Amino acid sequence: MAGVPLKTGQSVSFSRTVSESDVYLFAGITGDFAPNHVDETYMAKTPYKRRIAHGALLIGYSSRCSTMINDLAAKPEDGAVSVSLGYDRIRFLKPVFFGDTMTLTYTIVSADDEKRRTRAEIKISNQNGELVAVADHIMKWVV
């Protein structure tokens, strides 16, 4: 395999409803039991009025998109695998509440054959079409 098996403009997306169990399982895995995620009484006294999902949980959902794009590109017979080099320019623009349905769109914005890297733009919108988070993701393609 020469270079990377993806081209600029390729895109995948999926939707997921943020459940209470998602948030509590994530809190248990990370140890982040901040009251804004798990204490409804506390949050009722804030401008948000209810609990919000962890921003890092949204980045976890983004990992699903990188797996989906990888499934489009990598064939077992190629012997290639992609690995994440990280997420850049992560911004949480609006709160995400329990029961919100997120649609994540992952679009390749550059493909560097020499370095065997791709950069993708991630956009996360809620059920009202409001952009709630954005990030860039860098993958390296290993042969």
Among residues 127, 139, 134, 138, the alpha carbon closest in space to that of 58 is found at 134
Residue 29 located in a structural domain:
yes
87: CATH: 3.10.129.10
Report pLDDT for 62.
Answer: 93
Contact, 23 vs 58, CB < 8 A? no
Residue 35 located in a structural domain:
yes
- Residue 105's domain spans which residues? 11-142
Report pLDDT for 142.
Answer: 82
Q: How would you write the pLDDT of the chain (143 residues) with one tens digit per residue?
A: 467 788 899 999 999 999 999 999 999 999 999 999 999 999 999 999 999 999 999 999 999 998 898 887 766 666 677 889 999 999 999 999 999 999 999 999 999 989 989 999 999 999 999 999 999 999 998 86
Residue 3 located in a structural domain:
no
The predicted model scores a pTM of 0.91
81-92: strand order across its sheet: 11-17, 101-112, 117-125, 131-142, 81-92
Phi, psi of 14 (to 5 degrees): -155, 165
Residue 4 located in a structural domain:
no
- The domain tally of the chain equals 1
CA 113 to CA 12: how far, in whole Å? Answer: 21
Residue 23 located in a structural domain:
yes
Residue 1 located in a structural domain:
no
